[in-house]
Amino acid sequence: AVFDTAFHQTLPEHAYRYALPDSLYREHGVRRYGFHGTSHRFVSQRAAEMTGLPINASNWLVAHLGNGCSTCAVVDGQSRDTSMGLTPLEGVVMGTRSGDVDPNLHSHLARTLGWSLGQIETMLNKDSGLLGLSGMSNDMRTLEQAREQGHAGATLAIEVFCYRLAKSLAAMSCALPQLDGLIFTGGIGENSALIRSKTIAHLKLLNLALDDQANARAVRGASGPIHAQGHPRVLVVPTNEERQIALDTLALLEA
């Protein structure tokens, strides 16, 4: 078995613990676990190879953007923080998942609308995110087309998605001693020049900027740097979780 949480075993305690009663962690394992680990590991290693930096002496911010989305801080080949938590619901806005909300939302909806726990969980996991904000779709391609035609819900969904993603990346930067590059991956990260551009526009304090032509070219499997000259690296790196699983399997067999 290959666990999507495995790469995040290197999170320090101050990153994986919730500010909850200690017994919930000690007796019930309530903590942040993180997901998309196989992808974060693969693309951070691939980025090091592409740039000629040693993986064990390089520092990356990673944005894995698909129907599920998460960010990760990778230091010297190890995960030091990530946006998903106990479940894949925590963190940034996703296709149908809300990402972070006020923890008291559950009780608010139960009291004011009489919703059951099951109804609330379904709403947060399957009816929220890009789908909930736009009122039309969880597919970024559909939303980008609708935005061009002036659809208000699609426009709002994209704005919220990019702003919340940028906030998460800025937060992840707290775990890095320095920034050697930001990596975009996943179906949206590898194919949406608009999302990359809008997200980077919120990160001026990290001195990030894109080369618009390079950004526009990085679609449909094309990889490489898309940053403007004189600014920190921004890379598009297609993920390959199956390859990483195969490599891990071979390493175990050889051992």
- For tokens 């007796």, the residue is 27
Q: CA Rg, the chain, in Å?
A: 19
Place of tokens 């993920």: 239
DSSP assignment letter at 210: B
Q: Which residues of 28-48 are buried (b: 16+ CB within 10 A; e: fewer)?
A: eeebbbbbbbbbbbbbbbbbb
CA 10 vs. chain centroid, Å, equals 18
> Which residue type is seen at 132?
G
Encode 194-207: b = buried (16+ Cβ within 10 Å), e = exposed.
Answer: bbbbbbbebbeebe
Is the distance from CB of 172 to CB of 51 less than 8 angstroms? no
Per the listing, tokens 């699609």 go with 154
The angle formed by the CA atoms of residues 29, 101 and 87, to the nearest 5 degrees, is: 30
Structure tokens that stand for 216 in this block: 């526009």
Of these residues, 4, 81, 211, 212, which one is catalytic? Answer: 4
Is the CA virtual torsion 118, 122, 128, 134 positive or negative?
A: negative
Please confirm, yes or no, whether 211 is among the known catalytic residues.
no
The residues annotated with a catalytic role in the active site are: 4
